[in-house]
Amino acid sequence: MLSRRGYFFRGVRDGVPIALGYFAVSFALGIKATEAGISPFFAALMSLLNVTSAGEAAAIALLGVGTTYFEIGFTQLVINIRYLLMSCALSQKLSPKTGFLHRMLVGYGVTDEIFGISAALDEELSPYYSYGAIAVSVPGWTLGTLLGALMGNLLPARVTVALSVALYAMFIAIILPPAKKSRVIAGLVAVSMLASAGLTYLCSVLELTWFTEGFRIVALTVVISLAAAILFPVKDKEVAE
């Protein structure tokens, strides 16, 4: 079993690719923030406090058209509600002895990618592993936003768009190893991708504007996870032995 220091640096190691991907994506976000009239300082502060690409992009767009804070807050709730499910899932990997403050700090850093590397751990999740991942990922996200706001216009638009592809490639790299180990996981990944594409197309055709991306992610997560739990239950270690 690793020490706190060991878990921390393991998190740092696993978080470096995430930080690089975040830097690329948030660089483009910083450019959008400047175009919406947001100063570089507040753009970076927003990234530091939120750490959510879709949420920040929506907030920047709404601030650019002068919408109310209530509308911005409600939009953030809808877009980021999936993190509630991710936090609930990770809470089951933490030791029951983990204190409230540790849980709150781990919850601050729950993103799609950090959730991915945390959920992929075979052993119990240490909060210090999360701290290590957060320690490199969040600065990468914040610094990228700041530099994008300060000098993003110096780069061609095609370059900033191309940089964002790195994040998706990294996320694929996170889910491939567990998918290779289990046919069930591989099948669920495929089903999730097809269901997401199908539901997005259906909402577009039927013009279901109220059924936003955040709601779709939550709905698919609940339905597919529930079906998987019923059809392919995972036994406790004690029972398996």
pLDDT (tens digit per residue) in 183-212: 888 898 899 889 989 998 998 888 887 777
* 155-177 mean pLDDT: 67
Asked if the model's pLDDT at residue 166 lies above 70, the reply is: no
Cα–Cα dist 52/25, whole Å: 11
CB 121 within 8 A of CB 129: yes
Asked if the model's pLDDT at residue 233 lies above 70, the reply is: yes
CB 130 within 8 A of CB 111: no
Confidence band, pLDDT 50/70/90 cuts, at residue 214: low
Please tell me which residue, 233 or 146, carries the higher pLDDT value.
Answer: 146
CB 34 within 8 A of CB 55: no
CB 134 within 8 A of CB 115: no
pTM: 0.71
Confidence band, pLDDT 50/70/90 cuts, at residue 164: low
* 171-189 mean pLDDT: 80
Phi, psi for residue 120 in degrees, rounded to 5: -80, -10
Three-state DSSP class for residue 50:
helix
* 72-97 mean pLDDT: 86
Please tell me which residue, 1 or 220, carries the higher pLDDT value.
Answer: 220
Instruction: For residue range 98-112, list pLDDT tens digits in order.
Output: 999 999 999 999 998
DSSP, residue by residue, 88-129? HHHHTTB-TT--HHHHHHHHHT--HHHHHHHHT-SSPBPHHH
Asked if the model's pLDDT at residue 80 lies above 50, the reply is: yes
**Burial class of residue 132, CB neighbours in 10 A (0-12, 13-18, 19+):** buried
Q: Which helix (H) or strand (E) holds 205?
A: helix 183-206
Residue whose C-alpha is closest to residue 66's, from 46, 37, 39: 37
Ramachandran area for residue 99 (φ above 0: left; ψ -120 to 50: alpha; else beta): beta
- Measured CA distances, 137 to 23, 153, 184 (Å): 9, 24, 30
